[in-house]
Structure formats: C-alpha cells, structure tokens
Structure 1
Amino acid sequence: MFIKIKKNSGISMQHNGIDKRHIVPVTSNFLLNLDQVAEASFYTLKETKISYDLEGHPIEFPMHTAVVHLQMSYLYALYTEDHNKRKGRMAERQYYKLFFRPENLDSYQELRQAIETQVANL
C-alpha cells in the first residue's frame, strides 16, 4: 500500500538526505510505500522545537506538533564503505519524519489511521 503525501498541505519533513537540523516543507507530491516501512512511531513534541530551512532561516514547531517517524527497511538503505574509518559495509536505514502543526492534525489523524489499518493489535 502506498500513501500519498500531497504538496502544500502544511506538512514539513526531515529525512537523512539532509542535515538533521534542517526541515523542509513538502513542496511536491510523493508516495511512500508502506511495505518498505520497518518501524513507525507516532508522538507529539513536548516542547517547542526550532529547526532551520535549507537557507538557514529558523522554523519553530510549537508544543503539541504531531510527528510520524517512518524507519524504512534494510532493503531501502544506503550502503557505504569505510564508514567512520572502519572497514566493511555500513547499512544506514532511511527515515522520514513528518511534522504536523497543531492546526493540521486532521492530516496527521488521516495518515495515522491509514498506517494503523495494517497493524494487528494483540
């Protein structure tokens, strides 16, 4: 199952293709394959978080901003040689963090519900 993240929907994103202190707004539609997700977590920020856009301007996320953290499977990983001066291959799993401001919680609930339809609660 794919989930479509729509552009200009008020969602901001962080992933390991950019520096960890940067967050970018979703400015184009993209699909995430839920079959490639190894771990998913849902949480809200307990305090205000300040990150930066790609031009270095601060972006403030208030308390109660909802976050969906998707850790992708090893098949969806970046393999590097000599990572941190060590020999061998290192698999760095890709991740996506999607940030939903408190005024945009409807989109968060919709995404969370779509993911949870594939979860068996025992």
Structure 2
Amino acid sequence: MFLKIKKNLDIHMEHNGLEKQRLVPVTSNFLLNIDHIAELSFYTIKERRIRYDLEGHEFELPINTRVIHMQMTYLYSTRKEMIHGNKGRLVERQYYKLYFFPENVEPYEELRGLIEQQVGNL
C-alpha cells in the first residue's frame, strides 16, 4: 500500500536529501510505500525549534506543530566505510518528517488515521 502526500496542503517536509534542519514545503504529489517504512512515530512539538528554508532563512516552528516521522528500512540507507578518517561502518537510513502546522490539523488527522488502519494494536 502507498501513502499519497498531496501538494498544496501546507505540509512541510524534512529528509536526508536536504541539508540538516532544512524544511521545505511539499510542492508536488509523491507516494511512499508503507511496506518500506521500518519505524514510524507521531509527536507534537512542545518547545521552540528553529529550522531553515532552502535559502537559509531562519524560521521558528510553531508550538503544537504535529510531526509524522517515518524511518525507512535498511534497503534505503547509505553506508560509509570511513568515518572521520577512521575505519568503521556507518549506516544511515533514509527518513521523512512531515510537519503539519497547528492551523493545518485536518491533513495530519487524515493521514494518521490511514496509517493507523494498517496497525494492529494490542
């Protein structure tokens, strides 16, 4: 099953392909394969956090911004054999974080509901 993330819903995204702490608006539709998500978490930002847009302008995330954090499986990872000049192995899995500002609760609730339909609860 796929999750379709639609553009123009005022959703913002962060992922490994961007520089650290860069947040971009979702400007085109994309699909995520649920079978390739290894870990998933839902949380709400309760303290001041700073992020940057693509031009490097700083902005503060509003308190009560909701986040869906999806960590992908090891099939979607990068591997480094040398870490800071030392031998070793670093495996960095790909992730996607979707940010829903407080005034944009409906798409968050809809997406969370679709995800939770696929989850077995004990």
* TM-score tier after normalising by the smaller chain length: over 0.9
More helix by share: 1
Question: Residue 35 in 1 paired to residue 35 in 2?
Answer: yes
Counterparts of residues 83-98 of structure 1 (less than 5 Å): 83-98=83-98
Q: In structure 1, how many angstroms separate the alpha carbons of the residues matched to 2:82 and 2:114?
A: 39
Corresponding position of 2:19: 19
More strand by share: 2
Q: In structure 1, how many angstroms separate the alpha carbons of the residues matched to 2:105 and 2:55?
A: 27
Corresponding position of 2:107: 107
The Cα RMSD (Å) is 1.3
Q: Which amino acid aligns with 2:87?
A: K
Gaps of 5+ in 1: none
- Same amino acid, percent of matched pairs: 61
TM-score by length of 2: 0.92
Q: Residue 88 of structure 1: CA displacement?
A: 4.7
Q: Which amino acid aligns with 2:14?
A: Q
Q: In structure 2, how many angstroms separate the alpha carbons of the residues matched to 1:25 and 1:59?
A: 13
- Runs of 4+ in structure 1 deviating by more than 3 angstroms, as ranges, are none
Query: What whole-Å deviation, never above 9, does each CA across 1:8-46 have from its counterpart, x for those lacking one?
Result: 210000011112221111111111111000000000010
How many pairs were matched up? 122
